[in-house]
Amino acid sequence: MAGRIGDVIDLRKPRDRSPEERQELGEAELRDLLHTLAGGAACPTHEVRLERLQKGVYRLRLAGGSPSFVVKRLTPAIAQADRLVAERWLPALGLGDRCPRLLAAAAQHEGRWVWHVYEDLSGETLAARREGPRLEAAVDLMARLHTRGVGHALLPEVRWHGRDHGSRWLITNLRDGIAALEALATHRRLLERLHRLLEEAPRQMRLMDEAGGADTLLHGDFGPTNVFVAMAGDGPDARLVDWDHVGVGPVSYDLSTFLYQSPPDDRPWLLRRYRAAVERAGHRLAADGDLNLLFHTAETTRGASCVIWPAMALLHDGAEWGRSGLADIEAWFETLRPPLPDAAGGGGVA
């Protein structure tokens, strides 16, 4: 059933499925999803067309001109967190309409995967159209998410089901990356870099405590491909997809992702827009110099987390892609710099 990105999969044609293709949507799971979408009525699978958008993600179209849907494969743990985002956590912040609606779910019969069906959002992603009003809508939504999440009573539940993007994540990723590289006994330069970062980690953690501000609910992957913006009658309307990395931590985590994935010339004014939005909500943001260091720390930690998977693939499976993956990460570290021009430090957050 699997195909190239953009392929249309005709379910009327039987296919022998390889082990890799068994991770893709099967007819049994599809029937369960269609049964829910149709309110219990039968819906023949030969009247369904699936367009593969990326690995484990499809656009589903039913016969008769009905709306399309997005179907996504998730591990059971992430599926539970994503359900809580849509049905509990965002509604508790008054932001229940800021993500696509979850319409149906079905588990793969061996229990390895859960398939979610979401509404297919209108509009385009910021990656497709970077325009001033659309960017402003995205930044304003980020600020609302962060300011409404600060100190919320649901944060312990988010941390339990989602991820901790705070200082403990920094230490854990560095230690795990070091352990994997030491077991490989290769890539000495990358290993030495992680050791240096681990030595610097206490200073970075103090800065996070002093300038990072209170923990809040984080999207976890606030990049342009995950922000949909539709042009409504009263202006741009932003919504967020792909909450697989939802968690708790300082605002600098989400903000750094957004800035690093924006052109350098846009970063200063995007930060000014975010600062103004959080200040209107009664919060105070650290000075630009401190934030710049926090942004760099967050990106460095994400890079350290990327070391683990190619190292483990090389160590346990002999996968050659792991060798090139580690080389790419090492080259990426060589070019990594703070996202903003030099700025004076100082200040804190409240």
* CATH number for the domain formed by residue range(s) 124-335: 3.90.1200.10
Dihedral, CA atoms, 128, 134, 140, 143, nearest 10 degrees?
Answer: 10
pTM for the complete prediction?
0.89
For the stretch 198-225, pLDDT in tens is: 999 999 999 999 999 999 999 999 999 9
Q: How far apart are CA 77 and CA 149, in angstroms?
A: 22
Q: Would the CATH topology of 8-119 be identical to that of 124-335?
A: no
Q: Which residue has the tokens 């590289």?
A: 181
pLDDT value at residue 258: 98
Contact 221, 260 (CB under 8 A): no
Other C-beta atoms closer than 10 Å to the C-beta of 97 total 11
Q: How far apart are CA 223 and CA 201, in angstroms?
A: 25
Residue type, 263: P
Average of per-residue pLDDT values in the chain: 88
Q: Which of 271, 260, 257, 258 is nearest to 343 (CA)?
A: 271
Of 3.30.750.24, 3.30.70.920, 3.30.200.20, 3.20.20.70, the CATH number of 8-119 is 3.30.200.20
pLDDT at 346 over 50: no
What are the residues facing 84 on neighbouring strands? none
pLDDT at 24 over 70: no
Q: Which residue has the tokens 């001033």?
A: 132
pLDDT at 316 over 80: yes
For the stretch 222-245, pLDDT in tens is: 999 999 999 877 889 999 999 999
